[in-house]
Amino acid sequence: MHRTMRLWVLILGIFSTFAASSAISVANAYGEVEMGSDDLPPPSGNVVLVIDGAINRSNDAGAAHLDIEMIGSLPAHSLSTTTAVTDGIRQFDGFLMRDVLRLVDAQGKMVRAQALNNYSVEIPIADFHDYDVLLATHMDGKKLLPSGKGPFWIVYPRDDWRQLQDIRYDYRWVWQLHRLTVK
């Protein structure tokens, strides 16, 4: 029993030492992050998406500047659907919008999506929970480029839900997406 008591004292001592330190870090899906920290790690590559507004995790003065590695750490998803601007069924690959917003701990009810050409639209965040909306990076196996519909295209599973075939949803398919502002 005496030996067991010493072991517990040793374990508690180690735990207390680490708990008192503010430099404890853990590896998670987003890289090394300090425990208790609301900050994202800085991007190691080119910034491809900026998320600002009502978010709790950032890496640049209240905004989250994300590179492709940070986004690529999220679970990948695919969907096949028709679009209002292409012919036939297309295969899209990317990441669920709800996972992207979870990465920055978004707290709003709406998101303003802005494209490189300054097109913007407000989208209810509920859409991302009600449907498997993608932040698409590829269409038919080809990377989306800024000279086309990239770097990202918000894609709804329109063929899976009759209500998504309404023109009101077509306006929410933002291509050349580069910024999200959570409201």
Q: What is the pLDDT of residue 21?
A: 32
Beta bridge mates, 50: 65, 179
How confident is the prediction for the chain on average, in pLDDT?
84
Lowest mean pLDDT among 36-50, 133-147, 169-183: 36-50
CA dihedral 32, 38, 42, 43 (to 10 degrees): 90
pTM for the complete prediction?
0.79
Q: What is the pLDDT of residue 43?
A: 97
Q: What is the pLDDT of residue 8?
A: 37
Q: What is the pLDDT of residue 13?
A: 39
- Residue linked to tokens 């097109």: 119
| pLDDT, tens digit, 9 for 90 and up, residues 115-158 | 999 999 999 999 999 999 999 999 999 999 999 999 999 999 99
Q: Are strands 64-67 and 76-81 parallel, antiparallel or unpaired?
A: unpaired
Residue 20 has pLDDT above 90, yes or no: no
Of residues 13 and 178, the one with the higher pLDDT is 178
- Do 126 and 111 contact (CB within 8 A), yes or no? no
Mean pLDDT of 16-20: 34
Q: What is the pLDDT of residue 38?
A: 65
Of residues 106 and 23, the one with the higher pLDDT is 106
| CATH top class, domain 39-182 | alpha beta
- Residue linked to tokens 């998670």: 28
Q: What is the pLDDT of residue 104?
A: 97
Q: What is the pLDDT of residue 124?
A: 98
Of residues 93 and 23, the one with the higher pLDDT is 93
- What are the structural domain ranges in the chain? 1-37, 39-182
Q: What is the pLDDT of residue 22?
A: 31
Q: Which CA distances in Å does 1 have to 5, 10, 12, 15, 103? A: 6, 14, 17, 21, 46
CA gap 76, 89 in Å, rounded: 20
Q: What is the pLDDT of residue 69?
A: 96
Residue 16 has pLDDT above 60, yes or no: no
